Structure 1
Amino acid sequence: MDKLNILVAIELIVVFFSLFLSCFLLTVKTEHKLSNRLFASFLVLTAIDTSGNIFDFLNEGPSNFGMFRNLMIFLQLPTFYLYVLSVCFTDFRLKPRHWAHTIPFLLANLVLIPRFYGVNLDAKLDFLQKISSRPEIQFNHILLHVQVICYIVAAFMILRKSRRIYLENYAGASIASLNWLFQFTVALSIFYIIALAKNIFKFTAYPEISEWLKSGLIIFELIVISWYLFKALNHPNLFRTVDSKLKLVKDIVLEEGKSELAPVNENAYNVEYLKLKDYMSDKKSYLNPSLTIKDIADDLGIPVRDLSLLINHQLGQHFYDFINTYRIEHAMEILKDGSKSKVTVLEILYEVGFNSKSSFNTAFRKHTGTTPTEYRKGLKNSDL
């Protein structure tokens, strides 16, 4: 089996996995239908882009459809970016203004109308024979490179903002999901950076390097799609989102003016802090795994804005870490209780408000410098 046939076989696997996962996302029962539809669209576009060797294997000669298929790559990252928005923010909706993301795709096709789409087969062949020197192709490559950089940066900015909003307002397990989406975006960024390098080498004196990178990209794409498929099948409701209308504390501080916060409202914050401490001790609301800052603010009769400033600004601690501190201290009390020595670590983490072992271990190590299991062993050894 020659190299081309091997690549076609790998492409077929990637296309199958992409389409299989897209069907799964479109049919699985979930509250996050928009997110699933957007990612399914991204996977279909990925399958179309990956099928280059398959398309060339089945067709002879250039065609308008073949060029149009190639240029659909301009829709991939905009679709992924919209997917990231839908995952991060619960109130995200597709709006007419989002059609602006198709502008690069339309431009890339428009510049090819005079000398490719609108000419006969012989003219198409002549155009492709000197494709690397054609200004239309050079324009499209520059446009694609700029698009990739802009959307990758924008995706990371959205993830960073949503993570900070989550830490300041929520105390559930979604942070692990946001971290995983960040990892997937990193993997996707690496893929596109290698793809850009491939395109650059394509127009140099070393086109063979471009071909090797192309082969490596197909294999890398198979690994990434398989990774996502594994995650999706095991966690069909992977993400919980945050409210995009929530403001970061640093923005609230800037709005109100830093000089006004400390001296003017110090007494009020002291009163609110005492109320908060008594509330946490009496109500033990931190045992609620899906607790939000709004839940506590409603119970205390304090505006969410003021409570957020108290915890995230005055106390210098994210709400997420603030709540986890109470959870870890409660877990430590259980671990110290000799009558509960038979209670497993898994049972303890659920009892104190966590709903994943990884987030519990991370928070416990951050608070104590050790894992729950090591902490319990240390207590036993000290009693001997």
Structure 2
Amino acid sequence: MFLAFPNFNIWSTPLLLLTIQGLIFAVLICNRYRKRKNLSDVLLFFILVITCYHQTTYTLGFMGWYDTFRNTKINYALIALTIAIAPLIYLYVKSITRSSFSFRKKDWLHFLPAFLVIIYRILIFSYDALQPGFAATQNGYLKIHFDEAYFLPVYSIFSYIQNTLYLAFTLQLFYNYRKKINEYFSNTFKLELNWIRNFLLLYIALFLYDLIQTITGTMFIDLDYKQQWWMTLFTGLIIIYVGIKGFFTDTTKLKKLDFSFSPNRAAIPERDTISKKKIATEDIQKIKGLMEHEKPYLNPELNLSDLAKLANLTRAQLSEIINSGFNQNFNDFVNGYRVEAFKDMLQEDKHKQLSILGIAYECGFNSKATFNRVFKKLTNSSPSEFLKTFG
């Protein structure tokens, strides 16, 4: 007997190819975990696998599964596990940005709702499977009269609320971490941080798209499968991006950063107003002299701890001097000297011997993107525009 399944068409084929590619990258990331034992790889693996699993409903539907197997029981296994995705995203970002992070027993509580939903689905399937005539129908009594009528609407609302909270906490975690990097390091780790930012923004966009589509379909117009197909295609494209960038972006260097100290103004002992002004002036001159004569900013990996050792200060004291005395964070402070060094080299006609990027590297910058961004921020012109002023 000829079956309509699988039907490869313009609707099913893109979804199938994107999902398969996503699973391939999930396998590659899982294999990398076996070699490196990075917990972030396990979390990203499950994010990709569950997101691909969510594609199953529409992929199989457009391939003709439901028309061919009219008594299929697959709906019992198709569970929206977005309540597991949001905690996974939170823990993934946390595992990258906290060197001390490890998965503890209490972290399983993040996934308790997802486990309960899976157990619930097994129970209603077990009940429906015992009812007369179940083999001749697609959905049993509880699936229709309880799951779809009552449970799924409540579950959907709970899922959106939970996702909103988790994504908000994750964004806060990321932006606080990025701010701390500017307080400690002259290298902003732009590539790695951009990956985390884009990863979060894409999943937020996906969440908002799904929310808008659900509200539209519930309150305004009944959307058919082809109208909802675009959401599934968008998800598939995100899967590919996350798979590729997640595999090729090395985030382990972020996990190795030392944030054992948090800059705190209170760390400086209290002094009377006159002494504070006098010492602050002396400290400012001391740091300026160090930067101008020893030029530690030429080291592209210079961090707050390194400079504190050179200045014979604690990190708390140095952070206070830079923040209050120079009104800058550590990153801007160091890169300001690098920009000035770049200008000095142009004055010496070094651009006739080296490229702009070559001079930037000589001045302590570690990437073209960082150099261009910092130079534009501090001078309001691009390096090439600035070079034209030298004729």
Equivalent in the alignment of 1:138: 153
2:230 maps to 1:216: yes
2:343 maps to 1:332: yes
| Pairing of 1:253-292 with structure 2 (within 5 A) | 253=265, 265-292=276-303
2:214 maps to 1:199: yes
Would the alpha carbon gap of residues 58 and 261 (structure 1) be closer, same or farther in structure 2, given more than 3 Å must change? farther
**How much does 1:15 deviate?**
1.6
Take 1:32 and 1:322, find their aligned partners in 2: how far apart are those partners? 37
2:161 maps to 1:156: no
Would the alpha carbon gap of residues 239 and 257 (structure 1) be closer, same or farther in structure 2, given more than 3 Å must change? closer
Equivalent residue in structure 2 for 1:46, among 48, 51, 62: 51
- Larger helix proportion of the pair: 1
Take 1:293 and 1:16, find their aligned partners in 2: how far apart are those partners? 45
Equivalent residue in structure 2 for 1:368, among 376, 379, 382: 379
Query: Normalising by structure 2, what TM-score?
Result: 0.83
**How much does 1:269 deviate?**
3.0
The aligned amino acid for 1:34 is L
The aligned amino acid for 1:137 is L
Equivalent in the alignment of 1:73: 82
Equivalent in the alignment of 2:40: 35
Would the alpha carbon gap of residues 218 and 4 (structure 1) be closer, same or farther in structure 2, given more than 3 Å must change? farther
Would the alpha carbon gap of residues 297 and 305 (structure 1) be closer, same or farther in structure 2, given more than 3 Å must change? same
The aligned amino acid for 2:140 is L
Would the alpha carbon gap of residues 75 and 339 (structure 1) be closer, same or farther in structure 2, given more than 3 Å must change? closer
2:102 maps to 1:97: no
For 1:97-116, what per-residue CA distance to the aligned partner results, in whole angstroms no more than 9, with x for missing partners?
Answer: 21111022134345556644
Equivalent in the alignment of 1:22: 26
2:16 maps to 1:12: yes
**How much does 1:357 deviate?**
0.8
Take 2:76 and 2:253, find their aligned partners in 1: how far apart are those partners? 36
Q: Is the 8 A contact 2:48 2:243 kept in 1?
A: no
The aligned amino acid for 2:167 is I
Q: Is the 8 A contact 1:25 1:40 kept in 2?
A: yes
Equivalent residue in structure 2 for 1:119, among 115, 124, 128: 128
Equivalent residue in structure 2 for 1:297, among 301, 308, 321: 308
Would the alpha carbon gap of residues 79 and 162 (structure 1) be closer, same or farther in structure 2, given more than 3 Å must change? same
Equivalent in the alignment of 1:225: 239
Instruction: Tell me the number of residue pairs that the alignment of Structure 1 and Structure 2 aligns.
Output: 374
**How much does 1:298 deviate?**
2.0
Higher alpha-carbon Rg = 2
Equivalent in the alignment of 2:95: 86
Would the alpha carbon gap of residues 129 and 226 (structure 1) be closer, same or farther in structure 2, given more than 3 Å must change? same
Take 1:291 and 1:220, find their aligned partners in 2: how far apart are those partners? 41
Take 1:366 and 1:168, find their aligned partners in 2: how far apart are those partners? 17
**Over aligned residues, Cα RMSD in angstroms?**
3.3
5+ long unaligned stretches in structure 2 = none
Query: Normalising by structure 1, what TM-score?
Result: 0.85
Q: Is the 8 A contact 2:186 2:335 kept in 1?
A: yes
- Where 2:103 maps in the other structure, the secondary structure is coil
2:369 maps to 1:358: yes
**How much does 1:221 deviate?**
2.0
Equivalent in the alignment of 1:147: 162
**How much does 1:33 deviate?**
2.2
2:317 maps to 1:317: no
**How much does 1:227 deviate?**
3.1
- Where 1:208 maps in the other structure, the secondary structure is coil
Would the alpha carbon gap of residues 316 and 28 (structure 1) be closer, same or farther in structure 2, given more than 3 Å must change? same
For 1:47-81, what per-residue CA distance to the aligned partner results, in whole angstroms no more than 9, with x for missing partners?
Answer: 11112234555574464x75344243321121111
- Where 1:324 maps in the other structure, the secondary structure is helix
- Where 1:6 maps in the other structure, the secondary structure is coil
Percent identity between matched residues is 21
Q: Is the 8 A contact 1:336 1:376 kept in 2?
A: no
- Where 1:70 maps in the other structure, the secondary structure is coil
- Where 1:119 maps in the other structure, the secondary structure is helix
